[in-house]
Amino acid sequence: MLTRKQRELLLFIERKLKDDQVCPSFEEMKTALNLKSKSGIHRLVSALEDRGFIRRLVNKARALEVIKSASDTTENKNNSLANDRITTKGFIPNVIPGNFPQSSSRLAKKAEIAVELPLYGKIAAGQPIEALTDHTNTVPVPAQLIGKGEHYALEVEGESMIDAGIFDGDTAIIEKCETAENGKIVVALIDNTEVTLKRLRKKHHAIALEPANSDYKTRIFGPDQVQVQGKLVGIIRKY
């Protein structure tokens, strides 16, 4: 079953391919669906791909192939709320939905146990923002997502990590630490004033904070400019 927005996007893609013989750009999709950012389109496209309705063509820019038409789905117009919910079948790995389905299995019961983590505020997955100061709120997190050690949560703001599956509005679950391996996505404090969520790269005496979006540039710092404050262990996303 598709949500209303997923079906609306699929119909738009089908229509553009039929009329123009070319796939619409993400900007065109954003405008057509009246969304505020392209991160929402990334989520919808990924969901359609996971459910087998479209396929991305490798090595071709903005190229999508419709495998299953929107006409193959049925939409319950008398229950729009139900259509706005996404089932966990075919869900993106490492992303925990905000509303957990009831199940009799032991795994599902464990997922339903929530741990309250401090929500420190917003972290920029884009241009860095000022250091976080809000320590007053909490957010419930599935217990199975939390391992050993101290954890906290941050709300993601920006689109620089969308190719790593991290979108604007997601809640990032962070394991508190002061060091991280090369290639890990970390919370980095820059010059004690800016905090950002980026992939960590170390080479010789330089530290690179690398985005996962070609629209953003990698930033290079000296070893004394960057302090690791935690590493990403999970993402919670609400639909």
For residue 38, indicate whether it is catalytic. Answer: no
| Encoded amino acid at 11, one letter | L
Contact indicator for 143, 176 with CB cutoff of 8 Å: no
- Smallest Cα–Cα separation from 5: which of 39, 50, 47? 47
Tokens for 155?
């709300």
- Cα–Cα distance between 15 and 23 in angstroms, integer? 9
- Cα–Cα distance between 83 and 98 in angstroms, integer? 16
For residue 5, indicate whether it is catalytic. Answer: no
Q: Which of the following is catalytic: 5, 16, 38, 160?
A: 160
Collect all residues with Cβ–Cβ distance below 8 Å to 207 and sequence separation of at least 6: 200, 201, 220, 221, 222, 223, 225, 226
Catalytic residue annotation: 160, 198
